[in-house]
């Protein structure tokens, strides 16, 4: 189980470190801001690619804020104050919004854990079926072909049940 968790952690670290530098640090500061915001109108596009009037207005606000020397946080804060939290492309990682960031990873780990337990149980059952004295059952043979006293007792029970079922069928036919 610890190997599985370490493999998952390693893959997450490698995938996060593989982000290209061009994606991590765009050259246009306006694009860096508008690519993280969603247009609040009915188009619902990312603000950097939006062509509606609201989107153009918001893009102008971002460009004016940059020209005035405002920071990214100040510009985004002003837009959030005007249009609401719905314009954020991703929720802030604080308070109740942490669930949005943590839940997918927790669900994935829980799924891997459940799959591990199910596979482990299946392997144990298969190993129990191939234990000595049960070769006939594991190979698809009849249960009564097993050696040993338990196989004879099982065959006797099956014969008794078969006789009872045949007697009940004869009685129903009358």
Mean pLDDT of 144-167: 77
The total of other beta-carbon atoms located within 10 Å of residue 129's CB is 12
pLDDT of residue 168: 93
Burial of 41 (0-12, 13-18, 19+ CB in 10 A): middle
pLDDT tens per residue, range 25-79? 447 788 888 888 888 876 777 878 887 888 888 888 888 888 888 888 888 888 8
**What are the contacts of 65-68 at 24+ separation with CB within 8 A?**
66/29, 66/30, 66/33
Average pLDDT, the chain: 77
To the question of pTM greater than 0.95 for the whole model, the response is no
Is the CB of residue 36 less than 8 Å from the CB of residue 137? no
Q: Average pLDDT for residues 159-168, to the nearest whole number?
A: 93
Q: What is the pLDDT of residue 139?
A: 46
Question: What angle, 0 to 180 degrees and rounded to 10, lies between the N-to-C axes of helices 72-83 and 53-67?
Answer: 150
- On whether the 2-90 domain is CATH 1.10.3720.10, my answer is no
Read off the pLDDT of residues 90-128 as tens digits, 9 standing for 90 and up.
767 677 778 888 899 999 999 999 999 999 999 988 887
Contact indicator for 35, 48 with CB cutoff of 8 Å: yes
Q: Where are the domains of the chain?
A: 2-90, 99-173
Structure confidence at residue 14 (pLDDT) = 59
Arithmetic mean of pLDDT, 10-14: 61
| Of 17 and 15, more confident | 15
């Amino acid at each position: 189980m610890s190997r599985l968790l370490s493999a998952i952690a390693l893959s997450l670290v490698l995938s996060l470190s593989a982000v290209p530098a061009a994606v991590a640090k765009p050259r246009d500061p306006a694009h860096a801001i508008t690519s993280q915001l969603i247009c609040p109108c009915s188009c619902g596009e990312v603000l950097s690619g939006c062509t509606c009037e609201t989107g153009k207005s918001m893009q102008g606000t971002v460009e004016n804020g940059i020209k005035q020397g405002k920071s990214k946080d100040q510009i985004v804060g002003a837009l959030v104050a005007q249009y609401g939290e719905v314009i954020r492309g991703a929720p802030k990682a604080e308070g109740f919004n942490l669930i949005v960031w943590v839940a997918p990873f927790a669900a994935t780990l829980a799924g891997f854990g459940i799959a591990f337990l199910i596979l482990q149980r299946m392997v144990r059952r298969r190993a129990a079926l191939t234990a000595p004295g049960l070769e006939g059952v594991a190979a698809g043979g009849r249960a009564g072909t097993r050696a040993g006293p338990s196989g004879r007792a099982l065959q006797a029970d099956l014969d008794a049940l078969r006789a009872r079922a045949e007697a009940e069928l004869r009685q129903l036919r009358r």
